[in-house]
Amino acid sequence: MSTKEWPLWEVFIRAKQGLNHKHVGSLHAADLQMAIENARDVYTRRMEGVSIWVVESKHVHASEPSEQEALFEPANDKIYRHPTFYDLPEELNHM
Amino acid sequence: MEIKLEALFQDKIDQEIKIEPRDWMPEKYRKTLLRQISQHAHSEIVGMLPEGNWITRAPNLRRKVALLAKVQDEAGHGLYLYSAAETLGMSRDEMFEELHSGKAKYSSIFNYPTLTWADMGAIGWLVDGAAIMNQVPLCRTSYGPYARAMVRVCKEESFHQRQGYEIMLTLSKGTEAQKALAQDALNRWWWPSIMMFGPNDDNSPNSAQSMKWKIKRFSNDELRQKFVDVTVAQTEILGLSIPDKDLKWNEERGHYDFGVIDWEEFFQVVAGNGPCNKQRLKARVDAWENGAWVREAATAYAEKRELRTKNQTEAA
């Protein structure tokens, strides 16, 4: 007896109004309604959230770890993108 | 190439950089983690059974809601951990299959019976206490998904231990008969609890590699000693006594000495010959098989609904 495994869903929870939804983990569910209900039971037993997003895991596309350098290295030497790069006089407070 | 990758991997570990699912990792690291995390998940799931036994017979509503919540948490902990294990490339069904066939292990402690209500106290206090001792360092384990799951588990676990200790405290301050019940539970759960940390260090061949990969942060014996040290004072508050005549403070070591563990018993229970091994596994297999129609019905319903939505969209 082997039946098809329920699909995997990624769960995102908004902890409170004003914050973004944050990835908290995953779970299996037959459909999106069950995914949301299960996410409520598994990830918000202690008032951890006010809103839930579920996304079927197969729809998440990720960057390759091997491309990490190519993707993120270019930002490394662009220190002029940070406010501390600029020399300003001391007396100019708060800019 | 492999050697270079392995050196880079160890370098990341040494720098305390977490390993994430899609990163390169040695096959043995993946296998070790998969075994450890799935075992841990199975333990949470099987661990619901000894306590589930007492839910309907909790002495009052306060105890009943707490026990229900604790058992529900354990289901949740099992699910966090199965999810973490799945990121290493094994499907949930494959893990269940390994549990049901007896190929995968779970913590031996759950193969002991829960004979009286006091066992709910002793389990929360000692079994969850020992688990916490093990789990807190795992929040810093080198594999990201496992570490994140453990952070959630540890946050929830402390209520488990406190509710258990409160049961023990109430019983030990009660009538003579109640106090005797508490002492009896301590007598039966003490040794299995300190066995939970696993074999002695010199008998635990994979430990060194797990420490090097920072999957583990402390050895079995270090954690066991820590547990004994904190539990002695807790037992004194209860006015109970730990069933070990060799237990005494060692000034020189700054730790309690304790008696020799009956490893023969431990290995017998691991091998499947504990008092409840068959019963526990049967309960899991039955739940899985008797629930098959529910899983199938939910799948069929989901497919039907998807089809209906598709047809509606096409019609529109």
- Spell out the residues 6+ positions from residue B35 whose beta carbon is closer than 8 angstroms to its own: B104
Task: Give the type of residue at B247.
Answer: L
Interface pTM (ipTM) of the complex?
Answer: 0.89
Classify residue A91: in a domain, yes or no: no
| pLDDT value at residue B222 | 96
Classify residue A8: in a domain, yes or no: yes
Classify residue A93: in a domain, yes or no: no
Classify residue A66: in a domain, yes or no: yes
Q: Does B241 touch chain A (CB under 8 A)?
A: no
Classify residue A21: in a domain, yes or no: yes
Q: Which domain holds residue A46?
A: 3-85
Classify residue A92: in a domain, yes or no: no
Both tokens of residue B244?
A: 């070990």
| pLDDT value at residue A21 | 98
Residue B85 Cα, gap to closest chain A Cα (Å): 11
Strand, helix or coil for residue B77: helix
Contact between B59 and B243 (Cβ < 8 Å): no
DSSP state of B205: T
Report the C-alpha gap between B255 and B227 in whole angstroms.
Answer: 11
Contact between B196 and B134 (Cβ < 8 Å): yes
pLDDT tens sequence across A38-78: 999 999 999 999 999 999 999 999 999 889 889 999 888 89
Sign, CA dihedral B177-B179-B182-B188, equals negative
Nearest residue of A to residue B290, measured between CA atoms: A1
Q: CATH code at A73? A: 3.10.20.520
Task: State whether B20 and A65 contact (CB < 8 Å).
Answer: yes
In chain B, which stretches have pLDDT less than 50?
Answer: none
Classify residue A25: in a domain, yes or no: yes
Number of domains in chain A: 1
Helix (H) or strand (E) holding B55: helix B48-55
Using an 8 Å CB-CB cutoff, list chain B residues near A2. Answer: 93
Model confidence, pTM? 0.93
Classify residue A95: in a domain, yes or no: no
- Spell out the residues 6+ positions from residue B161 whose beta carbon is closer than 8 angstroms to its own: B124, B125, B128, B129, B132
